[in-house]
Amino acid sequence: SWTSRNLDAVTGFYVPDGQIVINHGEPRVGSDATAAMAEGFCTEFPDLVVHCALAPLAGHQGVFVLMREVHHAETDRYVRIGGWEEWELNGDRKVVQSRGWFDANEYDRQVNGKAS
């Protein structure tokens, strides 16, 4: 759904009042907030490709390990950054809560061309 830029498909993985938090940031709660977050990613990275490396589920818990390969819209720099999301799922396997993680310093280095 990310790679297709289908925001309805992205938000369709969440319950209507689901939430996502990325790197201890502000929680985004509800379908509108999830759609706005997804739209922001798609705007910042118009050629966004998300590769799923692993997605194990255990009852109402899941982990989505991913790799993003993109070009940043403003800097046109190629960015390849991994991360994961820890999911709490409901009985229909919709995301109730997601905690996402990626290396923000590495992201900044790649987007802005700064030496690490």
Tokens 């118009």: give the residue.
Answer: 46
pLDDT at 5 over 90: no
pLDDT at 32: 92
- Confidence tier at 28 by pLDDT (50, 70, 90): very high
Give the pTM: 0.85
Q: Greater confidence, 45 or 116?
A: 45
pLDDT at residue 8 in the model: 84
Determine the 3-state secondary structure of 115 from DSSP.
coil
Most confident range (mean pLDDT) of 5-9, 85-89, 104-108, 109-113 is: 85-89
Q: For the segment 48-70, what is each residue's pLDDT rounded down to a tens digit?
A: 899 999 999 999 999 999 999 99
C-alpha distances out from residue 49 to 31, 34, 81, 82, Å: 22, 18, 11, 12
Task: Please give the full DSSP string across 19-59, using - where no structure is assigned.
Answer: EEEETT---EESHHHHHHHHHHHHHH-TT-EEEEEE--EET
Please give the Cα distance from 99 to 26 (Å, whole number).
Answer: 11
